[in-house]
């Protein structure tokens, strides 16, 4: 628990702001600078700020899951997104599939890959830095 | 199906790393997952090797991006051999890690890191892209640092920091070289580089890049004079970790040197051959002298890794089919033998209570089976016929004599003799002399003893098989050497026929 009232009050708000920005960055990343890696770093910055303000244990409780587990889910998601390449014969791994429902909308499996990277980065960074904080 | 097979050596350890990370709070469940993944990796790699032997080099353009714009995975015979041997080591160490101290290791996160390390190694062996190789090096570095400080002791942190610091210097050189190479040629696809390198106008800059890469890979492979990190770090690691490091980490550096210098810089062999030759000789001599000076089993074995790396570079120094085949055979033999010696060192520690030779003794009386199992890899390392090391050394030395590199052959022979000396030193001190103090009481459970000795017996059996039934292994090595020297074949497999036709026109 940090002594600063300002930090303690603003940290939860900044956490939500960081998460919202990080999701925006992930979605933007398909055709512009951004993507899962950057988004993941921004989200973990929000989580770490919260942990500095309210202590490691409360931050861990709000994550609801061991950081390493988060990393595992992310890796599995990224890995699985590439497996669809094997559906048709002789297409290599990571060949992504696209669906165009019309209206300029393009939905692809690349977003699964990016979200996987996002979770893996959040998991790894928090797993590395949370243990360095005081309880 | 080909593409599934090609990606499997990467997907299996990645999936296993993710699943064991998910099971972070259930260490007991991580162990079977990790072992199953190791067995699967061995199976997939073996299938990949037989496919490569039958149908030639396998190429996968990741994400269906055409080469040279996307990242390619390229598995030829040499890569496939390295993948199979990685699988074998993965199985041996996964079983061994269930032995003494398994619970603490599992709780500290051994398995996710172990699988991560395997992912880095298989990625480095399978990739056909220079920058991608850099990424796999980083994956390996991160995972190996985690493994190195697994017990969180002061000694380990000290060794780990030195390891990371020196390896970061190496990877910085790598990155510099990659940047310069991209500026010179506009590509980082290794096949494309091989196509463009002879036509680069500024050959002096290209040679400088090659030397930078030699430094970067040499630091990984622990060649003279960049080997200091290895004995500093390896002797602090716990034994399964040291065994997998000894087996694979330096060999990735050797693989990278062989791959890059036979493929990209092969047109300038007259310049690089002598440089690599001198480095190889200096590495052999300094390594073996370091081993002769030490009296701790782990340090002796660490210095022997360095010394043996020298033999593996002879192929690049001479660039003849026999020399490269000798290098490949040497890598195969050495990975098996060295990992086994580290596993045995762990068993010696368990039986005799120490790694220091002065405090060991009398193990031949109390543990004759361990003594016999030690003799197989130890004598093989020294090159006593008919064990595997003899054939590796024979091929390397014969290639040196055929190429009239008399000094190289003489150094290789003399270093073999000194290797025998330090193996006999371990034998005399740990097994033969009377025990200075009574050995500690028996503390092994039956399961722990099985987990310790099963991989030792498996690897000793492999050493004997390579020694007594050399023909298929030599055949494999020669096939790998043919593949490495057939640059046109590699380029055509990766880039397609059109690019190769353009190359031949350019050569005219």
Res B439 pLDDT > 70: no
Q: What is the CA radius of gyration of chain A?
A: 17
Confidence of residue B503 (pLDDT cuts 50, 70, 90): low
Percent of chain B scoring above 70 in pLDDT: 96
When CB atoms are compared, the residue of A66, A68, A86 closest to B4 is A86
What pLDDT was estimated at residue B79? Answer: 96
Give the separation between CA B276 and CA B133, rounded to whole angstroms: 21
Mean predicted confidence (pLDDT) in B479-488? 92
Q: Which of B21, B25, B60 sits opposite A93 (nearest CB)?
A: B60
| Residue B322 phi, psi dihedral angles, 5° rounding | -65, -40
Closest CA to A128 of B149, B235, B244, B26: B149
Whether residue B113 has pLDDT greater than 60: yes
To the nearest whole Å, the CA of B62 is away from the closest chain A CA by 6
Confidence of residue B12 (pLDDT cuts 50, 70, 90): very high
Sorted by where each begins, the domain ranges of chain B are: 2-507
- For residue B364, the model assigns a pLDDT of 83
Task: State pLDDT tens for residues B239-279.
Answer: 899 999 989 999 999 999 999 999 999 888 888 888 999 99
Which pLDDT score, from 0 to 100, does residue B508 have? 43
Per-residue tokens: B475? 């055949």
* Peptide linkage before B339 cis (omega within 30 of 0): no
Taking CB atoms and an 8 Å cutoff, what residues of chain A touch B61? Answer: 92
DSSP state of B66: P
Whether residues A73 and B14 touch (CB distance < 8 A) is answered with no
Give the pLDDT confidence score for residue B103 in this predicted structure. Answer: 84
A97 part of contact set with chain B, CB < 8 Å: no
| Nearest CA-CA distance, residue A72 and chain B, Å | 4
Q: CA separation (Å) from B275 to B208, B342, B359, B405, B427? A: 13, 31, 42, 13, 36
Q: Dihedrals φ, ψ of B61, to 5°? A: -95, 100
**Entry field: residues in chain A:** 135
Do B403 and B490 meet the contact criterion of CB atoms below 8 Å apart? Answer: no
pLDDT score at A79? 93
> In the Cβ-directed half-sphere of B57, how many Cα atoms lie within 13 Å?
29
Please give the residue of chain A at the shortest CA–CA distance from B146.
Answer: A128
Q: Which two tokens stand for residue A76?
A: 């599995």
CB contact B457 to A (< 8 Å): no
Q: Which residue has the tokens 């699985």?
A: A80
Question: What's the whole-number mean pLDDT along residues B132-150?
Answer: 92
Check whether A135 has a pLDDT greater than 70.
no
B50 pLDDT more than 60:
yes
Distance from A117 to chain B by nearest Cα, in Å? 12
Interface test mutation site (partner A, options B12, B18, B26, B59, max chain A beta carbons within 10 A): B18
* B500: confidence class by pLDDT, cuts 50, 70, 90: low
Pair B460, B376: CB distance under 8 Å = yes
- All residues at 6 or more sequence positions from B505 whose CB lies less than 8 Å from its CB, including other chains: none
Q: Return the DSSP state at B72.
A: E
A131 touches chain B (CB under 8 A): no
pLDDT, tens digit, for every residue of B389-423? 899 999 999 999 998 889 999 999 999 889 998 88
Q: Which of A69, A91, A94 has the CB atom closest to B22's CB atom?
A: A69
Considering only the beta carbons, identify the residue of A79, A92, A123 that sits closest to B11.
Answer: A79
Q: Is it the case that residue B73 has pLDDT exceeding 90?
A: yes
Query: Cα separation of B379 and B419, whole Å?
Result: 9
Q: B101: helix, coil or strand?
A: coil
The DSSP line for A34-87 is: --HHHHHHHHHHHHHHHHHHH-HHHHHHHHTS-HHHHHHHHHHHHHHHHHGGGS
Q: Given an 8 Å threshold on Cβ–Cβ distance, is A93 in contact with B19? A: no
Q: Which of B190-194, B396-400, B500-504 has the lowest mean pLDDT?
A: B500-504
> How far, in Å, are B147, B233, B462 from residue B358 at the CA level?
28, 22, 31
Of B128-137, B186-195, B229-238, least confident by mean pLDDT is B229-238
Question: Tell me, what's the pLDDT at B505?
Answer: 53
A80 touches B: beta carbon within 8 Å? no
Q: Minimum mean pLDDT among A29-33, A115-119, B16-20, B318-322: which range? A: A29-33
B155 versus B116: the higher-pLDDT residue is: B116
For A92-122, what is each residue's pLDDT tens digit? 888 888 888 888 888 888 889 999 999 999 9
Task: Tell me what the mean pLDDT of segment A81-100 comes to.
Answer: 86
pLDDT digits 0-9 by tens, B13-40: 999 999 999 998 888 889 999 999 999 9
Interstrand relation of A105-108 and A98-102 (parallel, antiparallel or unpaired): antiparallel
Alpha carbon distances (Å) from A24 to A13, A28, A42, B441: 17, 6, 11, 63
- Cβ neighbours of B19 in A, within 8 Å: 72, 76
CA distance to partner chain B, nearest, from residue A46 (Å): 23
Interface touch B3/A66, C-beta < 8 Å = no
Alpha helices per DSSP H over B188-268: 190-196, 203-221, 229-234, 239-244, 250-263
Identify the weakest region by mean pLDDT among A98-107, B165-174, B186-195, B290-299: A98-107
Which ipTM was obtained for this model?
0.90
Q: DSSP code of B68?
A: T
pLDDT at B455: 93
Percent of chain B at pLDDT exceeding 90:
55
d(CA B99, CA B444): 9
Average pLDDT, chain B: 89
Cross-chain Cβ contact B24/A72 below 8 Å = yes
Min Cα distance B343 → chain A (Å) is 29
Q: What's the whole-number mean pLDDT along residues A18-37?
A: 91
The answer to whether residue B12 neighbours chain A at the CB level (below 8 Å) is: no
Q: Which distant-in-sequence residues (6+ apart) come within 8 Å of B170 by Cβ?
A: B215, B216, B217, B218, B219, B220, B226
Mean per-residue pLDDT, B501-508: 52
Closest partner residue to B22 among A72, A92, A95, by Cβ?
A72
B492, pLDDT greater than 70: yes
pLDDT at B462: 93
């Amino acid at each position: 628990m940090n002594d600063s009232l300002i930090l303690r009050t603003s940290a939860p708000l900044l956490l939500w702001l960081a998460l919202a920005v990080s999701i925006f960055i992930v979605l933007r990343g398909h055709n512009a600078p951004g993507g899962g890696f950057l988004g993941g770093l921004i989200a973990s910055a929000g989580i770490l700020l919260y942990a500095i303000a309210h202590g490691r244990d409360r931050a861990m409780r709000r994550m609801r899951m061991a950081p390493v587990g988060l990393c595992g889910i992310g890796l599995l998601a990224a890995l699985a997104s590439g497996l669809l390449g094997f559906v048709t014969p002789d297409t290599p791994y990571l060949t992504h599939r696209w669906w165009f429902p019309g209206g300029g909308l393009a939905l692809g499996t690349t977003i699964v890959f990016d979200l996987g990277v996002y979770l893996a980065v959040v998991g790894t960074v928090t797993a590395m830095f949370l243990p360095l904080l005081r309880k | 199906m080909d593409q599934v097979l090609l990606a499997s050596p990467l997907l299996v350890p990645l999936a296993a790393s993710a699943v064991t990370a998910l099971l972070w709070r259930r260490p007991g469940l991580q162990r079977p997952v990790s072992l199953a993944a190791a067995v699967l990796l061995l199976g997939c790699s073996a299938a990949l090797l037989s496919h490569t032997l039958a149908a030639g080099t396998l190429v996968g353009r990741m994400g269906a991006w055409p080469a040279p714009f996307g990242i390619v995975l390229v598995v030829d015979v040499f890569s496939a051999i390295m993948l199979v041997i990685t699988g074998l080591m993965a199985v041996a160490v996964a079983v061994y890690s269930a032995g003494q101290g398994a619970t603490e290791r599992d709780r500290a996160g051994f398995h996710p890191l172990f699988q991560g390390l395997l992912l880095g190694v298989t990625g480095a062996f399978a990739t056909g892209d220079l920058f991608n190789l850099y990424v796999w090096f980083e994956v390996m570095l991160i995972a190996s640092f985690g493994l190195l400080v697994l017990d969180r002791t002061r000694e380990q942190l000290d060794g780990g920091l030195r390891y990371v610091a020196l390896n970061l210097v190496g990877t910085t050189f790598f990155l510099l070289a990659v940047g310069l190479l991209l500026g010179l040629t506009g590509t980082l696809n290794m096949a494309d580089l091989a196509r463009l390198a002879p036509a680069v106008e500024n050959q002096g800059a290209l040679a400088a890049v090659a030397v930078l890469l030699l430094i970067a890979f040499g630091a990984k492979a622990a060649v003279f004079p960049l080997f200091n990190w290895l004995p500093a770090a390896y002797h602090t690691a716990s034994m399964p970790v040291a065994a997998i490091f000894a087996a694979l980490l330096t060999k990735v550096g050797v693989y990278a040197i062989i791959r890059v210098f036979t493929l990209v810089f092969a047109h300038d062999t007259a310049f690089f051959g002598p440089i690599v030759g001198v480095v190889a000789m200096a590495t052999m001599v300094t390594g073996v002298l370091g081993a002769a000076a030490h009296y701790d089993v782990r340090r002796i074995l660490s210095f022997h890794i360095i010394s043996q790396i020298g033999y593996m570079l002879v192929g690049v120094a001479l660039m003849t089919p026999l020399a490269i085949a000798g290098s490949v055979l040497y890598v195969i033999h050495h990975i098996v033998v060295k990992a086994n010696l580290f596993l045995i060192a762990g068993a010696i520690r368990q039986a005799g209570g120490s790694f220091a030779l002065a405090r060991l003794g009398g193990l031949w009386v109390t543990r004759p089976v361990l003594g016999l199992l030690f003799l197989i890899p130890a004598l093989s390392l020294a090159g006593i016929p008919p064990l595997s090391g003899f054939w590796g050394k024979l091929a390397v030395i014969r290639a040196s004599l055929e190429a009239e590199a008399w000094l190289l052959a003489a150094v290789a022979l003399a270093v073999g003799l000194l290797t025998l000396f330090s193996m006999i030193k371990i034998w005399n001190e740990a097994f033969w002399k009377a025990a200075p103090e009574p050995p500690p009481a028996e503390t092994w459970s039956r399961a722990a003893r099985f987990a310790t000795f099963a991989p030792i017996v498996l690897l000793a059996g492999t050493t004997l098989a390579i020694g007594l039934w050399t023909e298929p292994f030599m055949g494999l090595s020669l096939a790998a050497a043919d593949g490495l020297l057939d640059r046109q074949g590699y380029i055509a497999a990766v880039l397609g026929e059109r690019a190769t036709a353009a190359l031949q026109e350019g050569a005219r």
